[in-house]
A and B are shown apart, each in its own frame.
Chain A
């Protein structure tokens, strides 16, 4: 009996051990442990002297950084949602840095795009999470208010900001504080099939005319495809008509005459010109339509380039004019490196951020990652300045409008999309659908966590 008991005890202990081991392994996957281990030996967070000392050194030569950081070894963790080419570019940059900086190693974690927001929002309040978060600017308002990210403060010297296109920096400012440095910008442009349409249209009227020629519902072929019932893709029409989601004072204004006009324009495309497919289409369907030559025009962003199959002759063009002098204006997304509010390595993280957004790093990101980088210098080089695709995105960024980054914006999506669905595909009047969305979003905002 006693011997038996011992055996059972050992078995039970082993089971526990295995269970613990398994959970331990899971933890090791997350990049945090090293960073944490190094933390106690680190200088206390927010030491002003260290801040000052680190800043000029990094500013002088971001990539060369001949002198390795003295002091204990540390790891700067970076979370991002990159895949494929963009990820390869980031990995290459990190490898380059890690080879040169034995004391400050970068560790990257790729998180699937649909999971990264939740993961970040759960991890940071508990003191975990990355040192640097790479994400589009439209979450900055929420994250700053919730204390998940911190302002760059004195690190954001005018000198440092000069290297970026101004419209990529402005969206990163929330309540007069700069929260990150821009890596790249994203906006919709007009993708067209060169075989079907040799020269892209410059006005919406032209586009409709050309598109009508390709609309053959029986052959499942249409003139234009985009996610019409999604505010992001509706943006060009809304902003092009001079509308917005919030007015100048920041108050919610969904049911504006401009917004009505924008919906009526799209309704015209669907119900009168009949160049759009029936019912809503997802991005996946749009991609396969374009690849199969079933649609000459799609509204898509830089990510779409990676989804076009080889053999499809495609081109990009700046979005056409809604009416003379009034171009369609897409939302602009500025993708940035942000600093976690709970980082234990702020100085090192700032240096890494500086490196990733440097002009040299930008070259790798545009070359390998095909990113539309935010650095002005890149476009001064003929190779990129004269690149036909890059040129179009660059030109589009001039008219694009930054996506609102306030917390209230998150309450706008669902009601607004419902209004688009109702007024474009359904029988609701656009002003009624918008008024309903206005009320719904107002109610949601009143219930939101402040």
Chain B
């Protein structure tokens, strides 16, 4: 980090620009959110209206006389302007493979095959989906059938057979498409202008700059939130584009439409507060950009790439943690589920037990990494050592091999019958150990050995570099003072290693905390998840339990833990501040 160059109070125009950009972003988010709300409400209204007809359609289907049945369908179509057509299809039994064969179209104005397809589709409605129709959410079925590509809305009611097991028929209606209103971009512009005025005006208040900025941004958001419903509707036609993830987008819409509106407002206010806090900083950036744009052009591509490859996926991950697998917004349910998990012998996931194990795993590993790394570096740093370069090269090999290969090799080394480690034990007359078998301890040991092997070269290289930069005069001076070897190490070497070693330890801790490869490939978390660390547990919830939201919550918690750790260590050790400062 370059030393901070004290900047003159930023010129007004850069403050305006900074405030403008930030507020335009917030304004867009607001308009978008409100538009989503509006659109969702409209769709809901249409669906509710269509649902009102659903009972009539189902009873028309239930009519045994086909002539009467058709008449009732036609009556429904005539009665409701919105309805393009109603349909009813019944299943025709299964063949020798268990595939349903033929379908009897009771009524369908459009091509019969179209209606048959609906039956096909309906059969995929799970038992739960059907139950949901009657009890919890009256809209569960539309969720499954949804919007047709041309804007028409399909509302279908799957009818179960007498046993209540399978979908045996489906009845429903197709609603005509309605025109959506376009998004007025000027709302965002107005909000931005408003914000700029406010931000500048608030500066005149007798408050610290950061607080006045944060407050003014929050005021803009609140005003926008209250005003936007009164403005022409903004229909988010591209809802799925924005989130990067369909699930997130879906949930955003749902959050806006359902009772989660306050959530969205809260999030926006939080974002506004944070942005406002940094408004002054961003103004400085604008000012600096004008003064000397060159460095910004150089780092531009890197910032862009980092943003796209790290921050966007991260944001989507955070978003996902609030969404369940169906795309429903669930608030902090996933976090509650993770954080309230108790040690239950029947459960595969225990957050706190695993957190404890992960911490232990990390502490032991890093201790070994630093111990071995530093020890070897001290040995290699002896000036009279022969073939120094060769040893150094040899000791870096574990790091330079792909970790997958190393991990798989170690797994083989621990093989009970054929592994060299057991062969050595057997040669010594010892009993063979089923390393990766039923004992958590030996599994943990195997993981540990693999990761220590993988991790020490990094610490060695860092220490070696730092050792070589310690001026020899210091040791000479210590010699003259009559210092012992230990005293020289304790009072000269260690303090001078600190600036290089502490950031390396922080980095090593983060890597080890998330050492997915090793755990996954060596013990596989076994036996019985007893050697899982948080990241492999998260993977399990994602791959086996198929809970993307829960896994995302795990990741966010892992991130929070590591962030906290880094912040605390950083403050305590000033690890990432350069030596010169």
Residues of A participating in the B interface, judged by any CB pair closer than 8 Å? 4-5, 8-9, 11-12, 15-16, 19, 44-46, 48-49, 51-52, 125-126, 142, 144-145, 147, 151, 153-154, 156, 158, 161, 166, 169-170, 173, 175-178, 220, 277-282, 284-285, 407, 410-411, 413-415, 418, 421-422, 425-426, 428, 436, 439-440, 442-444, 447-450
* A407 to B126 CA separation, bound complex (whole angstroms): 12
Contact in complex: A175, B301 (CB < 8 Å): no
Interface residue? B181 (CB, 8 A): no
Residue contacts A-B, CB under 8 angstroms, 11 given: A5-B293, A12-B298, A144-B124, A156-B99, A169-B97, A176-B166, A278-B432, A280-B436, A282-B415, A414-B540, A450-B128
Known: A12-B298, A153-B120, A425-B437. A173 touches B546 (CB 8 A): no
Contact in complex: A126, B305 (CB < 8 Å): no
**List of B residues within 8 angstroms of A418 by Cβ:** 526-528
**List of A residues within 8 angstroms of B75 by Cβ:** none
Smallest beta-carbon distance B261→chain A, Å:
26
Smallest beta-carbon distance B185→chain A, Å:
26
- Which of A284, A285, A414 makes the CB contact (< 8 A) with B348? A414
Residues of B participating in the A interface, judged by any CB pair closer than 8 Å? 94-100, 111, 113-114, 116-117, 120, 123-124, 126, 128, 149, 166, 246, 293-294, 297-298, 300-301, 304-305, 324-326, 344-349, 411-412, 415-418, 432, 434, 436-438, 526-529, 540-541, 543-548, 550
Known: A170-B98, A443-B346. A449 touches B547 (CB 8 A): yes
**List of A residues within 8 angstroms of B346 by Cβ:** 439-440, 442-443
Smallest beta-carbon distance B217→chain A, Å:
31
Count the A-B residue pairs with Cβ separation under 8 angstroms: how many?
Answer: 164
| Closest CB pairs A-B (n = 3) | A279-B416, A48-B113, A449-B325
Known: A19-B301, A421-B526. A177 touches B246 (CB 8 A): no
**List of A residues within 8 angstroms of B544 by Cβ:** 410-411, 413-414, 444, 448
Task: Select from chain A the residue with minimum beta-carbon distance to B98.
Answer: A173
Contact in complex: A176, B437 (CB < 8 Å): no
- Which of B96, B297, B545 makes the CB contact (< 8 A) with A448? B545
Contact in complex: A178, B97 (CB < 8 Å): yes
Contact in complex: A449, B348 (CB < 8 Å): no
- Which of A12, A176, A278 makes the CB contact (< 8 A) with B99? A176
Contact in complex: B297, A8 (CB < 8 Å): yes
Known: A12-B297, A170-B98, A414-B544. A278 touches B434 (CB 8 A): yes
* A186 to B410 CA separation, bound complex (whole angstroms): 31
Contact in complex: B124, A173 (CB < 8 Å): no
* A425 to B417 CA separation, bound complex (whole angstroms): 12
Known: A176-B99, A447-B545. A145 touches B126 (CB 8 A): yes
- Which of B99, B298, B418 makes the CB contact (< 8 A) with A220? B418
Smallest beta-carbon distance A427→chain B, Å:
8
Other than the given A153-B117, A282-B411, A413-B544, 7 more pairs (CB < 8 A) read A5-B293, A9-B297, A175-B123, A279-B417, A411-B545, A436-B345, A444-B545
Smallest beta-carbon distance B523→chain A, Å:
12
Known: A48-B113, A439-B346. A279 touches B434 (CB 8 A): yes
Task: Select from chain A the residue with minimum beta-carbon distance to B294.
Answer: A8
**List of A residues within 8 angstroms of B300 by Cβ:** 12, 16
* A69 to B128 CA separation, bound complex (whole angstroms): 42
Task: Select from chain B the residue with minimum beta-carbon distance to A12.
Answer: B297
* A414 to B544 CA separation, bound complex (whole angstroms): 9
* A421 to B324 CA separation, bound complex (whole angstroms): 34
**List of A residues within 8 angstroms of B123 by Cβ:** 175-177
**List of B residues within 8 angstroms of A8 by Cβ:** 293-294, 297-298
* A279 to B348 CA separation, bound complex (whole angstroms): 24
Contact in complex: B546, A449 (CB < 8 Å): yes
